[in-house]
Amino acid sequence: MITLYTWTTPNGRKPAIMLEELGWAYEVKPINIGKDEQFALDFLKVSPNNKIPAIVDHDAEGGPLSIFESGAILTYLAEKSGQLLPASGHARFKALEWLHWQIGGLGPMLGQLGYFANRAPEKLPLAIGRFSEESTRLFGVMEKRLQGAEYLGGDYSIADIACYPWMVAATTMLKEPLAAAIEKSPAVAAWMDRVGGRPAVQRGMKVLQD
């Protein structure tokens, strides 16, 4: 059994989608980050960086294992299941490079844009401009990749699972500052339809919303 500590945010959706893809039994423990539940001492024992998502695999080899950071969680689940990440060779590193591209680039840039464009108490044009520009550049990188490949790593993988919830946020909550990027990205739109059409992805996106 796996316990998933999560909330209704793009990072929180990734392991839910993965667990739905695998069809594994898991329980969801909501951590409401709007109410600062990420700072509760019990949660910090699992996720010392006070961020969701995190998991505990109660049946891990060697005893219960807690993991924080969505990229580490996806990689762990892929390796344990032998699914959605090639075990070796070029294909493994194609998937891993796009996974890390999401963790180190797309997520942080869209996250900062979301803060400055939608939630900050003051509108700061310099910050909105900087993060819109960088997010637009990342859209372009993804568009180019998807013009030559159906999925980011080649085949559907944890790289797509990591990027999809962020691209949903980009094309809904951030559609105003990113309007030009979205319009210039038909291959990204087609990829979103392909990934978003998967029943497991649809179920994972609804965790804690039903």
Residue 88 or residue 209: which is nearer to ligand GSH going by CB?
209
Q: Which is nearer to ligand GSH, 10 or 86 (CB)?
A: 10
CB of 12 to ligand GSH, least distance (A): 6
Q: Contact, 161 vs 21, CB < 8 A?
A: yes
How far is the CA of 62 from the CAs of 57, 58, 94, in angstroms? 11, 10, 30
| Signed CA dihedral, 165, 91, 194, 5: sign only | negative
Nearer to ligand GSH, 55 or 195 (CB): 55
CB of 53 to ligand GSH, least distance (A): 6
**Is 51 or 94 the residue whose CB approaches ligand GSH more closely?**
51
As measured in angstroms, the least distance from the Cβ of 166 to ligand GSH is: 10
How far is residue 184's CA from residue 196's CA, in Å, rounded to a whole number?
A: 20
For binding to ligand GSH (CB under 6 A), which residues are involved? 9-12, 33, 38, 50-53, 69-71, 103
Assess whether the previous peptide bond of 186 is cis (omega < 30° from 0).
no
Closest CA to 195 of 18, 77, 52, 75: 18
Rounded to a whole number of angstroms, the minimum distance from the CB of residue 105 to ligand GSH is 11
Least separation, in Å, of the C-beta of 89 and ligand GSH? 25
Residue 31 or 181 having the CB closest to ligand GSH: 31
CA-based end-to-end distance of the chain: 22
